[in-house]
Amino acid sequence: METHVPKEFKPFVFYNQDGDQFDAYWKMDNSYSVNIRDGETTIFALHKSMETDEVIGLTLYGVKYHLKRDNMLTNEPKRVEMNEKFAAWVAKQEEQNVGTQS
């Protein structure tokens, strides 16, 4: 059986409309997921490396629910601020992971 190994991995954030979730990965590795719950509801999942146990990605569930709950659909300045904070957090994770790869 032939396997495919990507030449280069680039960190990404992807919105899955069917699942109404954001998936973000900043490192490629075999992983497992740890669900973080609020009562019976899974809020998000941390994706952890099977080899090092470090967090290499996450999935945020119920994006539309959170946006409506926090009134972010009509609060554009706050949404922009949150996008910038999330982008900065992802960049920080990427920098930390690059530092641990050498």
Interval 56-93: pLDDT, tens: 999 999 888 877 776 655 656 666 777 788 888 888 87
> Are 56 and 49 spatial neighbours (Cβ–Cβ below 8 Å)?
yes
In a domain, 7, yes or no: no
> What pLDDT score does 83 carry?
77
Is the model more confident about 102 or about 54?
A: 54
In a domain, 51, yes or no: yes
In a domain, 3, yes or no: no
> What pLDDT score does 60 carry?
93
Using a 10 angstrom Cβ sphere, with 0-12 exposed, 13-18 middle and 19 or more buried, the burial of residue 38 is: exposed
Say how many domains are in the chain: 1
pLDDT tens, residue by residue, 17-48: 898 999 999 998 899 999 999 888 888 999 99
User: What is the three-class DSSP state of 53?
Assistant: coil
> What pLDDT score does 84 carry?
80
> What pLDDT score does 44 carry?
92
Nearest CA to 57 out of 78, 27, 79 is that of 27
In a domain, 5, yes or no: no
Structural domain boundaries, residue 29: 12-101
Nearest CA to 35 out of 61, 17, 13, 69 is that of 61
How many angstroms separate the CA atoms of 5 and 3, rounded? Answer: 7
In a domain, 97, yes or no: yes
In a domain, 73, yes or no: yes
